[in-house]
Amino acid sequence: MKSYKLNIQKDIFDERKFTKEELLKSSTYKLKQICSEYRIVNAFKNIYKREQLIDLILKYRGKDVSYLIYDKQEGGMARIQEALEQNVTTKLKNNNIIKIPTKIILYDEIGMSEEDSYRVTVEDEIVESNVLLVNGDKDYICGIFNLKRDKKEENKYYLVANHENLRIENFKKKNYKLLFFKRHISEYLYKVYYENQNFPPMNLQYYEVPIIHFEVRKLEETKSVLCIDFGTSNTTAGVYLDHNYVSKISDNDIFNNRIKLDEINFVNFPYVGRKGRGWSKIIPTSVYVLNCHDLDNIRFLFGHEAQERIKENNYAGNASFFQGIKRWVNTYKVFEEIRDEAGNIAKITRGEIIKAYIDYVINTSESQFKCKFKKLYISSPVKLKNQFISMFQDIVPDYQIESDNVLDEGIAVLYNTIVNQINNESFYDGDEYKALVIDCGGGTTDLSSCNFKIVENDISYGVDIKTGFENGDSNFGGNNLTYRIMQFMKIVLAHYYQNNSEIIDIDQLIPLSGVEIFRHVDDFGVDSVYAKLKEYYQRAEELIPTRYKEYENRPAEEYKKVKNNFYFLWELAENMKKDFYIRTNILRNKFDSFKNMRSPESDLQITPLSNWELAIYEEGKLEVVNEFPNVIFNVIEINKLIKADIYDIIRKLLEKFYENQELLNYSIIKLTGQSCKIDIFTEALKEFVPGRRIQFKKKNINTNDDLDLKLSCLRGIIKHVNSKKLGNIEINVENEVPIIPYSISAFDFNGNEKTIIRDGEKLTEAKGYISKLLSTREIKFYLKNIEGELQKEYLFENEAVKYTQTSSADILKRYSTKVSQEDTDTIRNDEVKLFVFTAEDKWGFYIVPICRQSDQLYIGDERYFTFEDDLSTLDFFDGLK
């Protein structure tokens, strides 16, 4: 496992054990580091071969090999049944040394996990081991369980079972018992299960504990809607559960608070790290390819487990690892070549990867809430709402995707506020409110507007919402801020190593005072603020390389070191950003080893790492530096570092509203997205609007698990679904036609650029054309933003042989609002008009070529082009940063 797992407590760290498989993946240098860290041997002063180091570590810090039966093996259950029947079996006296729950409810489609909290007390030499579920006098095996230790309490264990190792049938006689075994017999059963060979006979001694009340259930289909906030960086899911969501509710889950009735329930996703097993309401939008040998049964890891696996392999293993898969909405049918840890290669569509991730979210939800979902409500940004709905309807056809009257992400956040206003009676009946919602997520930022009013009717509240997408930046989000911090850290560390531990000052990189930055961005643009920082960053690459894409043709050892540099610095930057702005009120931060992690200074946060691992160039060779640098980062310099970036995005979003004084009409400015917790967002907003209208609730600054902003969108979606179900709020949502923030142009035969569609036009009304000779083979079109900056270039290939004969009447029937009679009548012989127009249900544009030959009209194939191929075109993990 990666040696620098962040934020681990010392007592947990001291229990660190290693498997042989894990050590075999480690470099010799890493093995020496482990020996040094745990004082196994002075490996740096003695000469030891790699094999000797592994043996030494296993001797003193070796992790016991697990002999728990979990992954299914064909024929394994039958072999254990045969072993029980053919070997001598001895029933041991229990004498109450093993205590199990009185009632056990098993759902054979999902098995049993630690979270089900079926706890077993064991006071004998039984440790983590295999447990058999048997039925009847002949002890027919109908399930294999694992006894997993509760690390918080001595002699306490959990029952765990893989649903594939259950064969619960409709037995007439339900005499269920659990058979417990001592360690050596449990290991014997493990070998029998997985190895198809003859084993010597053994006296199978066991403890038998009858289950007083054992019930087997099938997952019941629920009418409740599972809501998923599918994010670029992180995803959340939840559902409102009432007393009737299934006919038989799991009492066990009610008692353990896994299910709360008549409330919003959030899905908890597993996190397995060096602290042990944990749970989080947020799951990273990450996918790792574990095994793709069988194309029909590709195995993935998702979320936290995917990220842990990539760290274990020093970020440079063979397997494919994907982040930000939400960006693929317009390219989900594109094929990706994937690779697993063994080097197997397969080709699947991006949509299949997204489907696997969504299926995992659904399966985790079903396991927690003990039901089967058929209805899904998946969030999407306003400008791509229809594309997301269409994609999910295509890739998960077995589920009903909510598509009528759905809220986009920004308005879902606002709807959460509207419901709270109703519940708190903090609104004026019939008054209209105008709100702007700024949603800064991990990868994108959107600005949505909303007019709403609340009316208290005789039988329900009436809520009228008129929404519209105003603007946004698909290439700005929390990752931009992480990358900026990473740039600064890399520059500081490079200067530190090159100049005898000297610290470079932020003022050398950004030679402006804090109060000057906003005005400088106004006058000269954001790039001018970071010009010197960019220059220093390019120099730092010469000492601390992170552009691992450029090392693909170098030896594997170099490639791995450079790739590790990038991800090591990225993780440090991400965690420092959270420390400064999300988790605590610290003012300074440094990195140190576990043994030196405590600081007497209250404002200094020590981020503990098991060791420092950064590769730098020394005399033309990449050498790993393991000594912790004496570098302290403070919040003042980080604030200055990201101030221009944040102001620039706010300026882009609001400047037009400010200049035409339209902002005065908005009573609420709503900030959402975890990045908006940074105070500079509010400071930048105050340049345009009075602070009293900015709604942003900041929780206790010392809260480590503050998910309020991330969950506000999900809460809004769930409340919207529940309001429609209960009928207590009658909702009318009218989506205003989006305004296009782009222009589309092409060059005529004189070399003059002609604007065909102008920015600021409505998506339903934008149209135009350009004329060319029919013999023209290629026509280029250009997409520009409102600043006139080129965003994308499109190539339209004109193939005259594919044109089909048509008439004005047919054209008008098909394109009545896009192509006029006059437009077709004026087409000359051997001329083609390329008609360009947008449509309300697509975030892009169509090109339809119509020509005339020998006085006859012909039409070519209609082609669709997206404004953005990916939701965000900026990829921080492309190996070129």
At residue 272, the pLDDT reads 64
Q: What is the CATH number of domain 409-475+660-735?
A: 3.30.420.40
Q: Is the pLDDT of residue 693 over 60?
A: no
At residue 469, the pLDDT reads 59
Average pLDDT (351-355) is: 96
- Comparing 302-311, 452-461, 597-606, the range with the smallest average pLDDT is 597-606
Find the helix or strand (DSSP H, E) in which 378 lies.
strand 372-378
| % residues pLDDT > 70 (the chain) | 87
At residue 826, the pLDDT reads 92
Average pLDDT of the chain is: 83
At residue 61, the pLDDT reads 77
CA atoms within 13 A on the CB side of 813: 5
Spatial distance between the Cα atoms of 344 and 320, rounded to a whole number of angstroms: 11
**In 660-695, where does DSSP find H-type helix?**
679-685
Q: What would the pLDDT profile of 238-273 be if each residue is shown by its tens digit?
A: 999 999 999 999 888 898 888 999 999 999 998 765
Average pLDDT (385-408) is: 90
At residue 411, the pLDDT reads 81
The CA-atom distances, in angstroms, between 152 and each of 155, 276, 470 are 10, 10, 51
When comparing pLDDT for 33 and 452, which is higher? 452
Q: Is the pLDDT of residue 698 over 50?
A: no
Q: Are 200 and 140 in contact (CB under 8 A)?
A: no
pLDDT confidence bin for 576, thresholds 50/70/90 = confident
- Comparing 165-174, 257-266, 284-293, 352-361, the range with the smallest average pLDDT is 165-174
At residue 361, the pLDDT reads 96
pLDDT confidence bin for 3, thresholds 50/70/90 = very low
Residue at token pair 């609104």: 427
The 10 Å Cβ neighbour count of residue 732 is: 11
| % residues pLDDT > 90 (the chain) | 33
At residue 12, the pLDDT reads 36
**In 270-302, where does DSSP find H-type helix?**
none
Does pTM top 0.85 for this prediction?
A: no
Spatial distance between the Cα atoms of 482 and 442, rounded to a whole number of angstroms: 10
Spatial distance between the Cα atoms of 548 and 537, rounded to a whole number of angstroms: 15
The CA-atom distances, in angstroms, between 472 and each of 323, 331, 390, 449, 484 are 21, 20, 22, 12, 20
Spatial distance between the Cα atoms of 99 and 73, rounded to a whole number of angstroms: 30
What's the one-letter identity of residue 721?
A: V
Q: Is the pLDDT of residue 298 over 80?
A: yes
- Comparing 83-97, 162-176, 241-255, 329-343, the range with the smallest average pLDDT is 162-176
Q: What would the pLDDT profile of 215-236 be if each residue is shown by its tens digit?
A: 888 999 999 999 999 988 889 9
Question: Options 1.20.120, 1.10.287, 2.60.40, 1.20.1630; which CATH number does 76-217 get?
Answer: 2.60.40
Q: What would the pLDDT profile of 600-625 be if each residue is shown by its tens digit?
A: 556 666 676 666 888 888 888 888 88
- Comparing 171-185, 534-548, 697-711, 730-744, the range with the smallest average pLDDT is 697-711
At residue 224, the pLDDT reads 94
Can you name the CATH fold of 742-866? Substrate Binding Domain Of DNAk; Chain A, domain 1 (2.60.34)
Q: Is the pLDDT of residue 135 over 90?
A: no
At residue 137, the pLDDT reads 60
Nearest to 269 by CA among 390, 374, 367: 367
Q: What would the pLDDT profile of 753-797 be if each residue is shown by its tens digit?
A: 999 999 888 888 899 999 999 999 999 999 998 778 888 899 999
At residue 425, the pLDDT reads 80
Spatial distance between the Cα atoms of 695 and 688, rounded to a whole number of angstroms: 14
- Comparing 65-74, 581-590, 627-636, the range with the smallest average pLDDT is 581-590
* b/e per residue 231-261 (b: at least 16 CB within 10 A): bbbbbbbbbbbeeebbeebbebbeeeebbee
Q: What would the pLDDT profile of 137-171 be if each residue is shown by its tens digit?
A: 667 898 999 998 887 788 888 999 999 998 887 66
Q: Are 476 and 455 in contact (CB under 8 A)?
A: no
Contacts of 657-666 with CB under 8 Å at 24 or more apart are: 657/436, 657/470, 657/688, 658/688, 663/436, 663/688, 663/689, 665/434, 666/434, 666/435, 666/436, 666/449, 666/693
Q: Is the pLDDT of residue 127 over 80?
A: yes
At residue 49, the pLDDT reads 75
Average pLDDT (440-457) is: 77
At residue 583, the pLDDT reads 57
Q: Are 235 and 713 in contact (CB under 8 A)?
A: no
pLDDT confidence bin for 597, thresholds 50/70/90 = low
Query: Residues 6 or more apart from 632 whose CB is under 8 A from it?
Result: 588, 589, 590, 604
Greatest Cα pair distance, the chain, in angstroms, is 101
Q: Is the pLDDT of residue 293 over 70?
A: yes
When comparing pLDDT for 65 and 803, which is higher? 803
pLDDT confidence bin for 56, thresholds 50/70/90 = confident
Q: What would the pLDDT profile of 178-187 be if each residue is shown by its tens digit?
A: 999 988 999 9
The class that CATH gives domain 221-401 is alpha beta
Phi first, then psi: give them for residue 309, nearest 5 degrees.
Answer: -65, -40
